[in-house]
Amino acid sequence: MKKRNDQPWIPLWVDKWIFGSTRYELSNEERAIWVDFLALAAKDSGYIRANTGFPYPISALAGILNVDSELISRVISRLKETGKIVIEKDGVIRINQWDDYQLSARHTRRYKDDVRKSGHSVRKSGHSVRKNGRGVPKKNINTKKNTKKNINNNNDVKNVNNEG
């Protein structure tokens, strides 16, 4: 059985996404499937497969991603042409240079340090939780209805009910 990776997110490098070659190599539809493939691959250390040695059938990938099988086939061909994926001997899809799509050790340390400084701890899965283990608190939301803060000409703040 394949080793499951519970990586809950993948980094998206903004400059590379907006200004990189992928924008010119792939159509809009193809880029959307590419990002879906990255998300699927995050669950299995860079592989897109049903299990070790068993690729997903095209129809299964189409069902998972809620797209036509023809589109999946076309994107797989295009991603192979551009060198973004490799099809292994057993038919399993592997993201080429998967490590390039991960946080470096330096970025991981910085992320964990920032989270800890904010009063949270980081689980092995990468999830952030409060140190008491109860999750991240919700922001304090003012529940009073029909009340607005308004600044008058004297620069002092007063509460004004919704009177118009």
What tens digit of pLDDT does each residue of 10-30 get? 778 788 889 989 999 999 999
Domain boundary among 101, 117, 132: 101
What tens digit of pLDDT does each residue of 27-48 get? 999 999 999 999 999 888 899 9
> Domain of 32: which CATH number?
1.10.10.10
Contact 33, 75 (CB under 8 A): yes
Task: Look up the domain containing 138 and give its range.
Answer: 105-161
What tens digit of pLDDT does each residue of 84-143 get? 999 999 999 999 987 776 665 555 566 666 666 777 665 555 555 555 555 554 455 454
Residue 12: other Cβ atoms inside 10 A: 10
Q: How confident is the model at residue 78 (pLDDT cuts 50, 70, 90)?
A: very high
Global pTM reads 0.64
Specify whether 97 is located in the same domain as 111: no
Q: Looking at residue 17, what is its pLDDT?
A: 86
Specify whether 97 is located in the same domain as 18: yes
Which of 103, 98, 78 has its CA nearest to residue 26? 78
Using the CB atoms, write b or e for 104-135: b if 16+ within 10 Å: eeeeeeeeeeebeeeebebeeeeebeeeeeee
Q: Report whether pLDDT(58) > 50.
A: yes
Question: Which three-class secondary structure state does DSSP give residue 125?
Answer: coil
Specify whether 137 is located in the same domain as 94: no
Say how far apart CA 98 and CA 85 lie, in whole Å. 9
* 3 found inside a domain: no
* 31 found inside a domain: yes
